[in-house]
Structure 1
Amino acid sequence: MFSNRKAVGTPFVGLLVALLFSLNQGFGFAPKREFYQIKIYHLKDNSQKDRLETYLKQAYLPALHRAGIGKIGVFTPADADSLVYMLIPFKSVDQFMGLPETLAKDKQYTSAGQDYLEAAFDKPVYKGFESILMESFAGMPSMIVPKLNAPASERIYELRRYEAATEKLHENKISQFNNGELDIFKRLGFNTVFCGQVKVGGKQPSMMYMTSFENKTERDTHWKAFGADPAWKTLNALPEYAHNFLRADIYLLHPTAYSEI
């Protein structure tokens, strides 16, 4: 009796799993959206930069990987040596919030990062740092690592921050990205890395995104093509998207030799 029920139940379970998978695909359930942290280290001199980069390479990035965090970007401004930018992807807010405790329990990290973690008050590794937490856009829920061929010193990663006058206009700008602007970027080969709505830190209401190019000349050529693109002109002329950002800050970055993005 029981063996007969098992024989009937097994294909039923398999059929149910297949049906649920089919429904998930058919109804196009949205994939889970990632969270991103941008850390911006402010440095006093080359000594601090050398110590920070040693910490990042030998302690912090390996520990982040052990904590289940994937590709991590490390960048420096194209026109300055006093800043280091980090882009860290998280699968959830819980993963972000739990990271300090995870790192505190990681003996390899606390040993390799001792110069940074135990720095004296008069010999810190940085002047200070900023931290910005973002949630990815529905139209680009996951980070994409670009496939660039130029040497790291020539590649340009363009980080932009758009501020809006009100929360409503800010949401409107994100809607414009989700409903056309991201598609134009993709068609024109902008190699978009991520798009995120700022949730904590930084100037708000604001959003940030990153595109990437082989070099500065290619970057300039792409933006010229974007400005002349008929689809962009049509999208940008729609009255519902008028005045949806107040200002845009643009940061041109080079990846470090050990950046994974």
Structure 2
Amino acid sequence: MKLNLIYLKLLCCLAIIFFLQSHSFAAKPGYYYQIKIYHVKGEAQERTVDSYLKNAYLPALHRFGVQNIGVFKPVKKDSLEQLIYVFIPFKKIDNYLNLDQALTKDQAYLAAGKSYLDASFDNSPFLRIESILLKAFDAMPSPAMPNLSSLKAERIYELRSYEASTEKLSLNKIGMFNDAEISIFTKLNFNAVFYGQVISGSKMPNLMYLTTFNNKEDREKHWSAFGPEYKKISGLPQYQNNVSKNVTLFLYPTDYSDF
């Protein structure tokens, strides 16, 4: 009798250990994303930043173990300044925190980026740099490379940000994505690169995501198909008023972008 009881307890312990281990492996840690936005003015600054990113920064990130880095520019030009968006995916937050220190020890990076890094105070290569840090959504914990058939120059990358009136409402919208919206985007083949919660940035509370299309016509077809599917969930009472501002940017990849 005692032996059977001990055996039963042992089985229970093993079952609990197996349950905890299986669930810990199933809960894949999410990526962290940085979006760096270079504000530049004029062709000279734009060329300098492009050269730095292409020849120094992206190769250094690749050596550091960061892959699939996106560099994009807005389709619509601004007469006052130009913007260069850099999307950097990090597997762990420590990779993000340790990057700058690693770059100071990368001699190839320091040599290739010398003209940019050693620019004088009165000849800056940019107006300013903006940085946004995001945490990947649970429903898509890692980024994806889009499966597109068009030439890189024809592609449309649509970057959206959804601000909310309160932190609670923003979390509600993120829950809406995790529970329903991402499934719709996947079903309709929106070729999403990432979905992320902004955890540091100038506009919060906020979430951002990036979808991709072969061209503008392809984009219109996808969003037309999205409407009927989205209506099935957008009217649910638990998802009301969870977006206060929607900002949509159309971007195209540079020739040296990994995307």
Is it true that 1:156 corresponds to 2:181 in the alignment?
A: no
Counterpart in 1 of 2:40?
43
SS in 2 for 1:153: helix
Q: Which residue of 2 aligns with 1:8?
A: none
Matched ranges for 1:46-57 at <5 A: 46-57=43-54
Match of 2:60 in 1: 63
Shift of 1:168: 0.4
Q: Which residue number corresponds to residue 251 of structure 2?
A: 253
- 1:77-121 alpha-carbon deviations (Å, 9 max, x no partner): 011261110000001111111111000011111111001110011
What is the alpha-carbon distance in structure 1 between the residues aligned to residue 126 and residue 228 of structure 2? 43
Alpha-carbon shift at residue 228 of structure 1 (Å): 2.2
Residue of structure 2 equivalent to 1:172: 172
Q: Which amino acid aligns with 1:135?
A: K
> What aligned pairs does 1:3-152 form with structure 2 within 5 A after superposition?
24=21, 29-80=26-77, 82-152=82-152
2:241 aligned with 1:243: yes
More displaced stretch, 165-174 vs 151-160: 151-160
CA-CA distance at 1:233 after TM superposition: 1.3
**1:12 corresponding residue in structure 2:** none
Q: Given residue 112 of structure 2, which amino acid in structure 1 is its aligned partner?
A: A
1-structure distance, mates of 2:147, 2:26: 28
Could you tell which deviates more after superposition, 236-245 or 146-155?
146-155
Cα offset, 1:227, TM superposition: 1.0
Residue 4 of structure 1 is matched in structure 2 by: none
Q: Counterparts of 2:39 and 2:192 in 1: how far apart (Å)?
A: 26
Q: Which amino acid aligns with 2:226?
A: F
CA 1:245/1:63 → structure 2, altered by over 3 Å: closer, same or farther?
same
Q: Partners in 1 of 2:205 and 2:191 — Cα distance? A: 25
The CA distance in 1 between the partners of 2:23 and 2:57, in whole Å, is 41
Please report how far the alpha carbon of residue 27 of structure 1 lies from its aligned counterpart in structure 2 after TM superposition. Answer: 7.7
Which TM-score applies when normalising by structure 2? 0.89
- 1:207 aligned partner: 207
Q: 1:106 to 1:28 in 2, by over 3 A?
A: closer
Q: CA deviation at 1:202?
A: 2.6
CA RMSD of aligned residues (A): 1.7
Identity of aligned residues (%): 47
Deviation at 1:28, TM superposition (A): 6.5
What whole-Å deviation, never above 9, does each CA across 1:135-192 have from its counterpart, x for those lacking one? Answer: 0000100000112121111100100000000000000000000001000001111001
Give per-residue Cα distances to partners, 1:45-74, cap 9 Å, x unaligned. Answer: 111111111111110001001111111000
Structure 2: unaligned runs, 5 residues or longer? 1-13
How far apart, CA to CA, are the structure 1 residues paired with 2:122 and 2:153?
33
> Which residue matches 1:184?
184
* Amino acid across the alignment from 2:176: Q
Q: Which amino acid aligns with 1:179?
A: D
CA–CA distance in structure 1, aligned partners of residues 25 and 177 of structure 2: 20
Partners of 2:222 and 2:149 lie apart in 1 by 17
Superposed structure 1 runs of 4+ greater than 6 Å apart: none
Letter in 2 for 1:69: V
